[in-house]
A and B are shown apart, each in its own frame.
Chain A
Amino acid sequence: MSTSSGFKEIDHTADIALKVWAPNLQGLFLQAAQGLFMLMRCDLSPEQLSFRDLSLKEISLENLLVTFLNELLLFAENEGVAYQPIKVRLNECSLSSHLIGKRIINIRREIKAVTYHQLKIAKSRLGYYTVITFDV
């Protein structure tokens, strides 16, 4: 983890795993969303298309992260729009986020789903980190 926040694809035999880290939880969610679109290898239209707000409530932070990413995945497949969060607000296990969308020209890697496999949001001296497994 060379910088204070970021993400990195890590080896997983069949599917894809992404390590994500950030100094705070909001940052962790933002980085995870960016990482998702990196993994999907999306070609995006340069002009911004739309904004939308997203509110979610779950039973744990980990569940919130999975649901958040699955929502972004669904928007991408159903609407052809890559919605990236500009801002994320977290309150215990609730999230509200303002998203900015760009039209997807092409998705070169299909992500079927975000999984809960061994998912744990952990705290370190530098902030928070987690490893997310995606089914491809």
Chain B
Amino acid sequence: MNGIHDFTKISPFEWLISRKLRKDMRVDVRLFATQEMLESGLQDRSIDQAMNAASLPGLVGEVVVMPDMHQGYGFPIGGVAATRLPDGVISPGGIGYDINCGVRLLVSTIEYESVKGLIPILNQRLYAECPSGVGGKGAKALSLSELEKVCREGSHWARKNGFATNEDIEFTEDGGCLEGADFSKVSHRARERGLLQVGSLGSGNHFIEVDVVDQLFDSSSAQRMGLKEGCLCLMVHSGSRGLGHQICTDYVHDFQQTVQKYGIHLPDRELVCAPLNSPEGQAYLGAMRCAANYAFCNRQVLAYTARMIFESVFASKVPDHELRLVYDLAHNIGKIENHVIDNKQMKVCVHRKGATRAFAAGMNEVPVKFRDIGQPVLVPGSMGTSSWVLVGTDLAMQKSFGSCAHGAGRVFSRSQAKRKVRGEQLKGELKSRGIHVMTGSMSGLAEEAPEAYKDVDQVVNIVDKVGIARRVARLRPVAVIKG
């Protein structure tokens, strides 16, 4: 890759890198971005990483890159790739260490203006009672047999234990439980790390955010989702915690030899993989699904805690304090899905690394309530900026394996962010704009400053313009918990 002239411009927001550009590329790379974003991608290696991902054996269609792309390890963040069954590969690095890192959105009918004075108390309570930061102090402690149930059943375990309703299950991607989870493929170490962390947020870019529905772009779809202008909602961003990190670590380690066994040559060792129909590939798939189920359950238990706090803060102040789940979705995951590729229906393994599923109206996987409008898609912003609710489209099914962007996407490194922003100062600035922030680490807060991210509105504008998702509502934050 030499420069911008190596891209074929399809439209102002859609570009193609031909597989002919590099000998080891098996498919083209399609990017949804502005020219400026591509030039930035050329600086931070994300374009090279997308081309590296295009070298995986068994790829079909194209590698797709979202406008929130940025440099990761192995795959770029914002990358989507599909491999054919049964002999294509599965790559743990194409899913990420935080397996089923994802977002859920809950809505209320509580009018922000009527409870504005209670937001600081609400935020303090969320920070005090939703365990956050490194480790899992304060999270639910599980026995080994309970952990196994969490890994097999995901959100269903939460329902059986009083942490979830039937509606919660219905409005979680895959009903909060991936079939085929195989606990026997989860190492002793990963199990140990999973025992004490269900119901904890973690650190880094994970957050709980209280938002206000700021503007509706599609009133009918918003109404279906229960989004009312001026009302409070809550967003949770977390994943599979230490259990998922350890599963990925274990399999990336083991696959260093697996690629030699199967004669797979790759441009980056972080892309190591195994054929889906091999014992190694099946073992990772089984373990990865355990972590995905753990993450669904983790966000569910966090939401349960948040609901209890909403009840205690608002029950005597408003007629209805309920938080209802709009949707919960994964943005680091590998899924076996059916897609039409080159006019043929195919069963493929879709790797989404920093990309969300965005299935169109009419798909069986979309809950009945949303089946005529499309699957809700959640694109969180960056603490001080908007977050977005969209719906998946037919074009997403055609162009991106039913996938969309997952966030704003970083533009500054963590050290650059800290050089530009001080945590205390940022907290004060956000407070002056009516955004209350609680965090365990001021330097961590500075690393996650809004300035460190791309403009989420631009990212959403691009996915809307290219047609892989349609805007429904914009949210603005009023309280943020950072791990």
Contact = CB atoms under 8 A, between A and B. Distances in A.
Interface of A: 9-16, 41, 59, 62-63, 66-67, 70, 74, 77-78, 107-110, 112-119, 133, 135-136
Given A11-B415, A108-B441, A115-B93, 11 more contacts: A11-B413, A12-B71, A15-B72, A74-B189, A109-B203, A110-B134, A110-B204, A115-B270, A116-B272, A117-B270, A135-B98
Contact of A13 (B44, B135, B252, B440): B44
Contact of A14 (B71, B248, B249, B443): B71
B256 A41 contact: no
B380 interface: no
Contact of B134 (A10, A66, A108, A133): A108
B70 interface: yes
B192 interface: yes
Interface of B: 44, 46, 70-74, 77, 93, 96-98, 133-135, 189, 192-193, 202-204, 242, 245-246, 248-249, 252-253, 256-257, 260, 268-270, 272, 410-416, 440-441, 443-444, 483
A119 B269 contact: yes
A115 B411 contact: no
B71 A13 contact: yes
B269 A112 contact: no
Nearest to A66: B253
5 contacts: A13-B71, A13-B412, A115-B73, A116-B73, A136-B204
A11 B204 contact: no
With a 10 A CB-CB cut-off, give which of A15, A16, A63, A74 has the most chain B CB atoms: A15
Nearest to A133: B73
Given A13-B44, A135-B97, A136-B204, A112 B73 contact: no
A113 B248 contact: yes
A136 B204 CA distance: 6
B345 to A, nearest CB: 35
Contacts, number: 105
Contact of A15 (B73, B202, B249, B444): B73
B192 A78 contact: yes
Contacts of B134: 77, 107-110
A77 B137 CA distance: 12
A116 B443 contact: no
B72 A77 contact: no
A67 B256 CA distance: 12
Contacts of A78: 189, 192-193
B168 to A, nearest CB: 27
B192 A14 contact: no
A31 B414 CA distance: 21
B97 A113 contact: yes
Contacts of B72: 14-15
A71 to B, nearest CB: 10
Given A109-B134, A112-B245, A13 B413 contact: yes
Contacts of B256: 59, 63, 116
Contacts of B249: 70, 113-114
A116 to B, nearest CB: 4
Contacts of B203: 109-110
Contacts of A77: 134-135, 193, 242
Contact of B441 (A14, A66, A109): A109
Nearest to B452: A13
Contact of A9 (B202, B415, B440, B483): B415
A39 B444 CA distance: 12
A5 B272 CA distance: 31
Contacts of B204: 109-110, 112, 136
A16 B268 contact: no
Contacts of A110: 133-134, 202-204, 483
Given A41-B443, A119-B269, A14 B77 contact: yes
A113 to B, nearest CB: 5
With a 10 A CB-CB cut-off, give which of A70, A110, A118 has the most chain B CB atoms: A110
Contacts of A115: 73-74, 93, 97, 252, 270
With a 10 A CB-CB cut-off, give which of B73, B133, B248, B483 has the most chain A CB atoms: B73
Top 10 A-B residue pairs of the complex, sorted by shortest distance between their CB atoms? A117-B73, A11-B413, A116-B269, A13-B71, A117-B270, A107-B134, A110-B203, A115-B73, A110-B134, A112-B245
A109 B127 CA distance: 18
Contacts of B133: 110
Given A14-B70, A15-B72, A67-B253, A112 B410 contact: no
Contacts of B192: 78
Nearest to B272: A116
Contacts of B444: 108-109
Nearest to B192: A78
Contact of B413 (A12, A59, A62): A12
